[in-house]
Amino acid sequence: MHGYRVAAQVRPDISEAARRLSKEAESLIDAEVHYLRLPVEEVTGTELRLANGIVFSSEIFERYARNSREIVVFVLTTGDRLDAQVRRYIDDFELIEALFLESSGWLAVEAATRLFAADLRAELAREGKKLGMRLGPGYSYKIDGRTVEWPLEQQRELFRLFEGMSIPVTMLESCAMKPKLSRSGLFGVSNQDAAGKS
């Protein structure tokens, strides 16, 4: 994550700090994921329209979710405590500690996302369904050599799906999330025999 290609070239004090902060991260992480399975009404052109009326708009859906009959929408976080400790390190001008702790947090987000997807994949396989590619507001995707974005502003529609539910993540006015070490998105769900990408 920090550009080192050869472990032997990393200074011992940097290696020790990385080990120490990764252990600290383990003690601070309170990972949670909240998700919903929702039926899709249709995917046409640039729109993924849910049966409840929510519409997500981007060219990515025609390419990456066109066979989806439902979606799994999710919000995942490592919790407040790691975020708070990163801020304390920054306030105390302990920037290496802040950097390595936050990096450890993002690695935890990646690991938690993979575990969540694996559990979903197994659950859906038992139903004769398959899980599509993870898509997220604010991310960019390649379509026919072009870079196409799912605008971050669509986070508002995603969070509307969780209205009335108690989840440990809030959306800021900027559409970023709090805690910072959080991730949102959706997976398309299709039948096992569906052709093409789902």
- Domain map of the chain by residue range? 7-191
Whether residue 174 is predicted with pLDDT greater than 60 in this model: the reply is: yes
Instruction: Quote the mean pLDDT of the chain.
Output: 91
- Determine what percent of the chain is predicted with pLDDT higher than 70: 93
pLDDT range class, residue 7, cuts 50, 70, 90: low
pLDDT range class, residue 198, cuts 50, 70, 90: very low
pLDDT range class, residue 4, cuts 50, 70, 90: low
pLDDT tens digit sequence for 175-187: 999 999 999 999 9
Whether residue 196 is predicted with pLDDT greater than 50 in this model: the reply is: no
pLDDT tens digit sequence for 87-113: 999 999 999 999 999 999 999 999 999
Q: Which pLDDT value is given to residue 161? A: 97
pLDDT tens digit sequence for 33-89: 999 999 999 999 899 999 999 999 999 999 999 999 999 999 999 999 999 999 999
Per-residue H/E/C for the chain = CCCCCCHHHCCHHHHHHHHHHHHHHHHHCCCEEEEEEEEEEEEECCEEEECCCCEEECCHHHHHCCCCCEEEEEEEECCHHHHHHHHHHHHCCCHHHHHHHHHHHHHHHHHHHHHHHHHHHHHHHCCCEEEEEEECCCCEEEECCEEEECCHHHHHHHHHCCCCCCCCCEECCCCCEECCCEEEEEEEEEECCCCCCC
Q: Which pLDDT value is given to residue 14? A: 76
Q: Which pLDDT value is given to residue 13? A: 76
The packing angle between helices 12-28 and 95-125, to 10°, is 50
CATH of 7-191, one of 3.90.1150.10, 3.40.109.40, 3.10.129.10, 3.40.50.2300: 3.40.109.40
Tell me how far apart the alpha carbons of residues 185 and 65 are, in angstroms, rounded to a whole number. Answer: 13
Q: How many CB atoms lie within 10 A of CB 190?
A: 22
Tell me how far apart the alpha carbons of residues 133 and 20 are, in angstroms, rounded to a whole number. Answer: 34
Tell me how far apart the alpha carbons of residues 85 and 26 are, in angstroms, rounded to a whole number. Answer: 12
Whole-prediction pTM: 0.88
* Greatest distance between any 2 Cα atoms in the chain: 56
Tell me how far apart the alpha carbons of residues 35 and 111 are, in angstroms, rounded to a whole number. Answer: 17
CA separation, residue 95 to residues 4, 24, 160 (Å): 18, 15, 36
